[in-house]
Structure 1
Amino acid sequence: MQGLQGKRVLITGASSGIGAGMAKVLAREGCRLVLHYNQNDSGIRQTLAEVEALGAKAQVVQCDFRDLSAIAGFFKQAWSLFDGLDGLVNNAGVVTKTTAVNDSSGEQFAETLAVNLQAPYQISTEFAQACIRADQPGAIVNNSSIHGQATCEWFSAYAASKAGLDAITKVQAVEWGRHGIRVNGLAPGVVPVERTFDILLKPEMEQYWSERMPAGRYGNVEEMGEATAYLLSDVTSWMTGSILTIDGGLIARGNYPLR
């Protein structure tokens, strides 16, 4: 991808799954990486080892985004590691499955919005302000979900957080465009990761999903990494305020009976 060599990029939630896939692709593109994690020590060590094996310079920063008061200090540390940042990937999030009846107090709902929506809002704001002070451009990628566009039972908190993230992506693109700061979103479909391997990789489950996707298969974390590199690169220098959906055609097909 054009313009990524040497770029300094912060990836939140880089210890596993899509975040780790993003890190490896960006490492291959020559980026210098700040890798965030919360609790998965072994996972972040593995991601760090893999990106360093690809020749990338990388540093690790820990933060629990449920504590929103810690974000300013976290970002200050992340910005300082390579004397600034050129890109931000808001990938960290929680997948909450619950109904309103089971979460009548809204505790899980509030925690989901804190991690998935409030935290990236604050981190993006810190990033934009730092770029403006440094008189430099920047690029932000928010990892959303197809649940921000079409969803199902049990996902009220998660879907609300992702729909909100899509909206924030567009608003911040409008607010910061005159400063040379681009903001785009990535909306993955069904992408097996460590926590879902046992379920999604069962033959019967894989067939169930593949029949509903025109592409006929799941996505993978490297494809999400390639899409992220695309959105951060100079190839998309005129692209801002967009949500890039990569789901094998699942949303396009709709919930029609199979014919």
Structure 2
Amino acid sequence: MSKAIFFSGFGIAHGKYGISNSEIEKHINIGFIGDFDANRVKNSDDYKSYIKNGGSKSPFDFFATEKMGFETRYHVVPFPPTKARYNHAQNSLDLGVASMKMALENSNIDPEDIDLWLAGCATPHEHAPGIAATIKCHFVGFENQAPAATINSACVGFNINLERAIDYFNNHAEAKHVAIVHTEVMSRLLTNEKSFVPHVTFADAAASVILTRDEVLSGQGISFVLNNEDMQMIDFLGADKHGDLYMNPTKVRIRATNNIVNTVNKLLEFTKWKMADIDMVVPHQTGNAIVKEAAKILNIPDNKLYQDVQYQYGNLSGASVPFGLALMHSEGKLLPNNKIVTAVCGLGGEYGGFTYEVPKLKQNKPKPIKPLKGKTALITGATGGLGSQISHNLAEKGCNLILQYNSNQAKAEQLKAELAKFDVEVTLIQANFESVSAIELIHNEVTEDIDFFVHASAITGNLLRASEVTPEEMKLADKVNFNNPMDLAVKLYNKIKDCVIFIGSVAEDAMFSGSSTYVSSKRKLHASAVSFANMANKKGIRTIYYMIGLLDKGMVDKLNKKQQVAAMNSIGQKSLLNTADVADRIVRSLYLPKVIGVKHSREGELIVRRDGF
């Protein structure tokens, strides 16, 4: 056996809106996009021959598919791309995190074991910090000190980061794993673009890989990485200071074709491989005009030229090659000892590629990753819909649990039985928050320090206007939803080590009639949480007020359809939230700096997260 550097995990993500050629053609016909000459294509010999042989595509669809090589592309917004649509759309961070999550799961490597995080992006969601650091924050805890670095490079960004990763391995003998992500929202460059070519080609996606150095049974892994720059392309492809695309298609085609050819030839020279030895060439998915011409010059047969990404997903910039490798991996096409050559070219004249011989790996039994093993959490309202999901999620991550429930002992015992499979300690506490004695009871049961406290217990009260609610009902809601929970948090203050989460509600922001008792008590809890957070921060405890949109179970069952629609419209929530997904984000909030899918703000030392709106 020998050591090699190889891809141990792959992950991909793309925009959720599939854009067909017919959709683009429709907007050409109405004048949104210009410069396509349908008559020229219609009168061409190729199109006439195509129609004569039974083809039925329109001139545009024929040109986009058969000549350019694109059938579908995915954007984060519906077509056509307009600037306003990006305000609430997925961004490069969302796509990058999603692809990295898949890659880590695919590799079965604990994120805490990643030695270096690298990212490439030319369309970042924010200017700083670099997107690599922000993506890392979604997977590792506050104590993690592994470096993270971002490169502002588009088409060749992944290839440059691959070389940086190899250099890191060479300079750090102890390093075992490097995470690399490339993520782009290319469609955002098209909001003022009238030429049809980039609308046909550009797409939104991310691809991530986990690079591992370990012993292999055979295969070299990554054997050589090449990066160069063609200075003659510096002015012919890019985006200006306003984010608008500029491109000279003819010059780009000529130079890019030459650069791909030169890259492949140099890689074959360095590795001593012959074209006959190659199992697949994976070029940057730029389109047939470049890829097919380069393949023709290099004598690459069609069955060894990988273009599935181009046809099915579009030009993904620097994500194209890792996205293609991920698809090949998922389809069982990366077989041991297969030889792969890649070639990329793009903005600023950057070009390069790498060679990869798929290694044969030792068969190791996957180990379960338990990021919260040895931790302990107190959950109130544990038998409720959200509380039970939080409990399951924590237990799955290895966390010991102290579960408070109100009165349903049978339900509590059932929950405890369900959690037994996770091999964690589970303690049940029956305590009713309608009574002040519940505070002392819970405090006395919590004899050891706890890492986390999640307050998920609440009552909705009558769904009436304030003028229709009795003082007794208002006092009861305050006692259960505000006074007693906050008193409990203060009493447990010296036993809490890491994080406190108070579950808030969409009702605080959503303007709909009724539920005044619930809204009033939650707003009091919110205000008091600010003071608690200032106190807790002195001890290093994070305090989060977690406001949730309308869930698919719980309070929503008490609202009529009119109230549901009014509430969701007032906050811009499009659909009911899946309770299990929200529970997962709440649990991640306990130990990770960032969580995707929530809006994050601060009120003094209090972290406020809004989920679903």
Q: Do the structures match in fold with TM over 0.5?
A: yes
Name the structure 1 match of 2:500: 140
Q: Given the alignment of the two structures, is residue 233 of structure 1 paired with residue 596 of structure 2, yes or no?
A: no
Provide the C-alpha distance between the structure 2 equivalents of 1:235 and 1:121, rounded to a whole number of angstroms: 24
1:50 Cα deviation after fit: 2.0
Provide the C-alpha distance between the structure 2 equivalents of 1:52 and 1:46, rounded to a whole number of angstroms: 10
SS of residue in 2 equivalent to 1:192: coil
Letter in structure 1 aligned against 2:380:
T
For the aligned residue pairs, the C-alpha RMSD in angstroms reads 2.7
SS of residue in 2 equivalent to 1:242: strand
Provide the C-alpha distance between the structure 2 equivalents of 1:234 and 1:18, rounded to a whole number of angstroms: 20
Whether the aligned pair in 1 keeps the contact of 2:381 and 2:404 (CA below 8 Å) is: yes
Letter in structure 2 aligned against 1:62:
Q
Deviation string 1:47-68 (CA, Å, 9 cap, x unpaired) is: 2122222333211000011111
Among 462, 466, 479, the alignment partner of 1:100 is 466
Letter in structure 1 aligned against 2:579:
V
Unaligned segments of structure 1, at least 5 residues: 132-136, 250-259
Letter in structure 2 aligned against 1:231:
S
Q: Given the alignment of the two structures, is residue 121 of structure 1 paired with residue 486 of structure 2, yes or no?
A: yes
Q: Measured at CA, do residues 210 and 154 of structure 1 come closer, stay the same or move farther in structure 2, by a change above 3 Å?
A: closer
Provide the C-alpha distance between the structure 2 equivalents of 1:211 and 1:233, rounded to a whole number of angstroms: 29
Name the structure 2 match of 1:29: 397
- TM-score, with length taken from structure 2: 0.36
Deviation string 1:213-245 (CA, Å, 9 cap, x unpaired) is: 766421122122112212210436xx8511211
Provide the C-alpha distance between the structure 1 equivalents of 2:509 and 2:378, rounded to a whole number of angstroms: 26
Q: Which has the higher contact order (CA 8 A, sep 6+)?
A: 1
- TM-score, with length taken from structure 1: 0.80
Q: Given the alignment of the two structures, is residue 179 of structure 1 paired with residue 545 of structure 2, yes or no?
A: no
1:194 Cα deviation after fit: 5.7
Alignment of structure 1 residues 47-126 onto 2, 5 Å: 47-77=415-445, 79-80=446-447, 83-96=448-461, 97-104=463-470, 106-126=471-491
Moved over 3 A (4+): 194-200, 207-216
Letter in structure 1 aligned against 2:455:
N
Q: Measured at CA, do residues 101 and 220 of structure 1 come closer, stay the same or move farther in structure 2, by a change above 3 Å?
A: same
Structure number with the higher helix fraction is 1
Q: Given the alignment of the two structures, is residue 157 of structure 1 paired with residue 517 of structure 2, yes or no?
A: yes
Q: Measured at CA, do residues 208 and 234 of structure 1 come closer, stay the same or move farther in structure 2, by a change above 3 Å?
A: closer
Whether the aligned pair in 1 keeps the contact of 2:378 and 2:452 (CA below 8 Å) is: yes
Alignment of structure 1 residues 148-227 onto 2, 5 Å: 148-193=508-553, 212=569, 216-227=574-585
Instruction: Kindly tell me the number of residue pairs found equivalent between the two proteins.
Output: 234
1:178 Cα deviation after fit: 1.2
Provide the C-alpha distance between the structure 1 equivalents of 2:426 and 2:530, rounded to a whole number of angstroms: 30
Whether the aligned pair in 2 keeps the contact of 1:15 and 1:46 (CA below 8 Å) is: no
Q: Given the alignment of the two structures, is residue 38 of structure 1 paired with residue 398 of structure 2, yes or no?
A: no
SS of residue in 2 equivalent to 1:10: strand
Q: Measured at CA, do residues 198 and 122 of structure 1 come closer, stay the same or move farther in structure 2, by a change above 3 Å?
A: closer
Provide the C-alpha distance between the structure 2 equivalents of 1:100 and 1:211, rounded to a whole number of angstroms: 21
Provide the C-alpha distance between the structure 2 equivalents of 1:118 and 1:215, rounded to a whole number of angstroms: 30
Whether the aligned pair in 2 keeps the contact of 1:173 and 1:183 (CA below 8 Å) is: yes
SS of residue in 2 equivalent to 1:218: coil
- Structure exhibiting the larger radius of gyration computed from Cα positions: 2
Letter in structure 2 aligned against 1:88:
F
Whether the aligned pair in 2 keeps the contact of 1:149 and 1:163 (CA below 8 Å) is: no
Structure number with the higher strand fraction is 2
SS of residue in 2 equivalent to 1:191: coil
Provide the C-alpha distance between the structure 1 equivalents of 2:492 and 2:372, rounded to a whole number of angstroms: 18
